Structure 1
């Protein structure tokens, strides 16, 4: 069994990376739209 704390930390890390990637993609799209 994997400890719950480890699972929670992993989930938070995945969400953080996902949000960072989403923000990056949105910024890239906005730059293209401005051009």
Structure 2
């Protein structure tokens, strides 16, 4: 239970650390969409 709670809180950091390409693609898409 405690581990799950910590994992939930650190999910964004975990995704960026494990899937940097997805984060970069999302950031570029968001940047283009704003522009």
TM-score (normalizing by structure 2) = 0.49
TM-score (normalizing by structure 1) = 0.49
Rg larger in structure: 1
